[in-house]
A and B are shown apart, each in its own frame.
Chain A
């Protein structure tokens, strides 16, 4: 079974631009969660999508948004990029109705904002 895939793997953007990251979950998984990893902050939860609906949300500003498509693929968008948005963005997928521990992570997208 193919794992979670994320595209692109690396991205460089300038301040003020916007960016869209993509995540394809494991086949059959309906929940997709997004995390931001920065040095010293660990993994911070952004949001979770299940059946095309945002089911849970972390404490990030409205510049961070996402969506999920009918095939469970998910995109995350960050508008008006700031230098502090430079991070590794990870997505994780899980089966419907499962507890958080059944999450499987993708390799991440490394975003650098200059």
Chain B
């Protein structure tokens, strides 16, 4: 049962344009959402997060939007740069003190075309 879904395995975007990566979840107990970025031969690195009490969080070129009613979140990258080419994982957690764990999506490979 995939509780966090990234339905687009890959995405190609022209340099300078907006990249939009999508993520859907099914577990209504999830209250914290994160995006991780992964380059080949490296572990994932934390990019940006959002709490369920917010609907938007911005950090430089990266903005995450959360639509709780639709159980959907998206990551916007503007403007896209060649260094953004990587696999992006969406992850979610439910508050359960001492027993929290991250549930990851399957990832979206973003390719920025120069």
Contacting pair A101 B32 (CB below 8 A): yes
Q: Tell me which of A11-19, A41-49, A62-70 binds B.
A: A41-49
Q: How far is the CB of A75 from chain B (nearest CB, A)?
A: 17
Interface size of B as a range: 20 to 34
In angstroms, Cα B91 to Cα A33, docked, is 15
Contacting pair A108 B104 (CB below 8 A): no
Query: From DSSP, what is the main secondary structure of chain A's interface residues?
Result: strand
**Which listed residue, B42, B43, B49, B105, touches A42 by the CB 8 Å rule?**
B105
Q: How many A-B residue pairs have CB under 8 A?
A: 64
**Which listed residue, B6, B32, B45, B104, touches A99 by the CB 8 Å rule?**
B32
In angstroms, Cα B101 to Cα A111, docked, is 23
Q: How far is the CB of B102 from chain A (nearest CB, A)?
A: 4
Contacting pair A100 B100 (CB below 8 A): yes
Interface size of A as a range: 20 to 34
Give me 20 A-to-B residue pairs in the complex whose CB atoms sit less than 8 angstroms apart, sorted by A's number: A4-B43, A33-B102, A35-B104, A43-B89, A43-B104, A44-B104, A50-B98, A56-B99, A56-B100, A58-B101, A92-B43, A99-B32, A99-B95, A99-B100, A100-B100, A101-B46, A101-B49, A103-B46, A103-B102, A108-B42
Using a CB–CB distance below 8 Å, which chain A residues touch chain B? 4, 33, 35, 40-45, 48, 50, 55-56, 58, 90, 92, 99-101, 103-108
Using a CB–CB distance below 8 Å, which chain B residues touch chain A? 4, 6, 32, 34, 36, 41-46, 49, 89, 91, 93, 95, 98-107
